[in-house]
Structure 1
Amino acid sequence: MTQHAHLQGRKGLVVGIANADSIAFGCARAFRDAGADLAVTYLNDKAKPYVAPLAEQLQSPIVAPCDVREPGQLEAVFAQIAERWGRLDFLLHSIAFAPKEDLHGRVVDCSQQGFAMAMDVSCHSFIRMARLAEPLMPDGGCLLTVSFYGSEKVVEDYNLMGPVKAALESSVRYMAAELAPKHIRVHALSPGPLKTRAASGIGHFDELMERTRARAPAHQLVSIEDVGHVAAFLVGDGARALTGNIEYIDAGYHIVG
């Protein structure tokens, strides 16, 4: 742990670690370095061997399966947290999914089923987490999710995830307003493109990264460590006056016309 242990004694949940390159892992490492205790989830038995060693690095006392499409799994995670800790101070929702055939085609051509699944996994699951977290945050807390600039501008090959992330960002604003009286803050992190396993599902992703590098003011990309530093700040007391924001961590990419 570093000397900047501003999250000492805080309890957090991180959902969405797939491997060491995950945005969720970059954030989890920053939370842990700042002194937080973390509950970590993995998608399924296939994913567990990749996540378990990372959870060990993070010294996580709670490591549980969580596929939000499986009835009861998300609720079981929160039941474990309630039993073990009795409270929760923050959570990170870093999951998204769309069927490949819907993601790789035009929005105009996406199926009703594919659209509904993408919205359920990528957006509504964050709302569910907020509802489950609320009773565990009697003294306030912070909820984070992960978005992308393709939510507000058309980004080539981002396709169906654009409207889905737009819904997620709107949900952040409404949830921030609704939960503010309980001192629960809500934000979306909006990193520039990062080479994660989730990103590999997006068509021509390497080209997207190079376009982003060329357009960003400093002609650089960001890292999962960069995202983690911002996430750790947002869940701490130093950010208690902030809520409902889309926090761009993209080396200025979003300011360039």
Structure 2
Amino acid sequence: MNFLQVENKKYVIFGLANKKSVACAIGKTLVEQGAEVIHVVRSKERVANAKKLFPDSPVFICDVETEANIIRVRNEIEQSLDSRKNEKIAGLVHSIAFANYSQGMKPFHETRQADFLQAVNISCFSFISIANHFKDLLAEDASVVTITISTTKMAAENYGYMAPIKAALDSSLCFLAKSFSEFSRVRFNAVAPALLKTSASAGIPGYIDSYLFAEKAILRKKALTTQEAADTAVFLLSTRSSGINCQTIVVDAGMSVNYFDKEIVTKTVS
């Protein structure tokens, strides 16, 4: 028997964009372990790429910015399940984030209300909404996982207002788990990776420099890989993590303990 025990179970993944996505790495790992994966992508333009990456997986479309779309895709996925077997979803992945940097990076106190509210809707509220509308499709002991960031308390200027939004996402875990505990054993957790080399991150102003710094700050002097973040997510989706609930699992290869690394300090003060 496979250690993770995900064989023949169904998982829904929101957020596949391309082969560099965390969602892609999670999906491929689940498939390799014998699971069945259903992908939900943002637009029609992403369907072809998703089918190329996952030829045997169903692909649905949902722009989570509008809640009606979440309700629609929930109904579409329900129709794809085998009702005769009372088929359920073993886990959900929420790997979605958006911030409008089209006007360049501004000081945090100049954050535009419209940008902040749009980002919190897409990046945080969508997680709550997906959980709510998919609750009847989930197995009683299903696992729901979202992707966040390794710290929401560090004022990284080039990440701007997204850190407070990710903090709200982290906080949502305990409230969702408590709500769901009234009728199920569904667990809610988050994977919080350090800086990753993804297409989405490439759109963040100054990200490359931050990524290179993180590589120096990590104990092993080697950047975190997307696969490492995905492996943690797959573990949380499996029954082997049944005792973990309401947790944000930091995956940073030890970076958070190494900001006073001798090499970094020497280069800074010399």
Q: Give me the TM-score of the superposition, normalised by structure 1.
A: 0.92
1:175 aligned partner: 176
Question: 1:47 deviation in Å?
Answer: 2.3
Quote the offset at 1:48 in angstroms: 2.5
Match of 2:119?
118
Q: Which residue is 1:33 aligned to?
A: 32
Deviates more, 1:195-204 or 1:146-155: 146-155
**Any conservation in 2 of the 1:150–1:161 contact (CA below 8 Å)?**
no
Out of 61, 71, 77, the position equivalent to 1:65 is 61
State how far apart, in whole Å, the 2-side matches of 1:140 and 1:97 are. 30
Greater displacement, 73-82 / 9-18: 73-82
RMSD: 1.8
Give the Å deviation of 1:166. 0.7
1:140 Cα deviation (Å)? 1.9
Paired residue total:
253
Q: Which runs of 5+ in 1 are unaligned?
A: none
1:32-181 equivalence runs, <5 A: 32-56=31-55, 59-60=56-57, 62-85=58-81, 86-101=87-102, 104-181=105-182
Q: Does 1:206 align with 2:208?
A: yes
Greater shift, 11-20 or 177-186, is seen at 177-186
Q: Which residue identity is paired with 1:55?
A: F
- Kindly report structure 1 stretches of 4+ aligned residues shifted beyond 3 Å: 2-5
Distance 1:252 1:120 in 2: 31
SS of residue paired to 2:140: coil
Instruction: Please tell me whether the aligned partners of residues 185 and 244 of structure 1 are also in contact (alpha carbons under 8 angstroms).
Output: yes
Structure 1 pair 164/115, CA: closer, same or farther in 2 (3 Å)? same
Q: Deviations over 1:84-126 (max 9, x none)?
A: 2242110110011111146721221111111000000000000
Q: Distance in 2 between matches of 1:6 and 1:103?
A: 46
Judge which range, 66-75 or 35-44, deviates more. Answer: 66-75
Shift of 1:45: 2.2
Residues 102, 162 of structure 1: alpha-carbon distance in 2 compared, 3 angstrom cutoff: farther
What secondary structure sits across from 2:199 in the alignment?
coil
Instruction: Tell me the distance in 1 between the aligned counterparts of 2:257 and 2:124.
Output: 25
* Equivalent residue number for residue 217 of structure 2: 215
- Is contact 2:14-2:94 (8 Å) kept? yes
Over residues 36-89 of structure 1, what are the superposed CA-to-partner deviations in whole Å (9 max), with x where a residue is unaligned? 111102211222332221121xx21x2111111245322222112222224211
1:241 aligns with 2:237: no
Other structure's SS at 1:17 match: coil
1:140 partner SS? strand
Task: Please name the residue that 1:11 is paired with.
Answer: 10
- Measured in 1, the distance between the counterparts of 2:257 and 2:188 equals 23
Is the Cα contact below 8 Å between 1:15 and 1:24 reproduced in 2? Answer: yes
Kept in 1, the 8 Å contact 2:9–2:35? The answer is yes
What corresponds to 2:268 in structure 1?
Answer: none
Percent pairwise identity: 24
Q: What's the secondary structure of 1:187's corresponding residue?
A: strand
| TM norm structure 2 | 0.88
Aligned partner of 1:195 among 194, 197, 200: 197
Counterpart position of 2:252: 250
Distance in 2 separating the partners of 1:227 and 1:126: 19
> What residue ranges of structure 2 are gaps of 5+ in the alignment?
82-86, 260-270
Q: Tell whether the 8 Å contact from 1:89 to 1:140 is kept in structure 2 after alignment.
A: yes
SS of 1:38 mapped into structure 2 = strand
SS of the aligned residue for 1:118 comes to helix
CA distance in 1, matches of 2:246, 2:18: 28
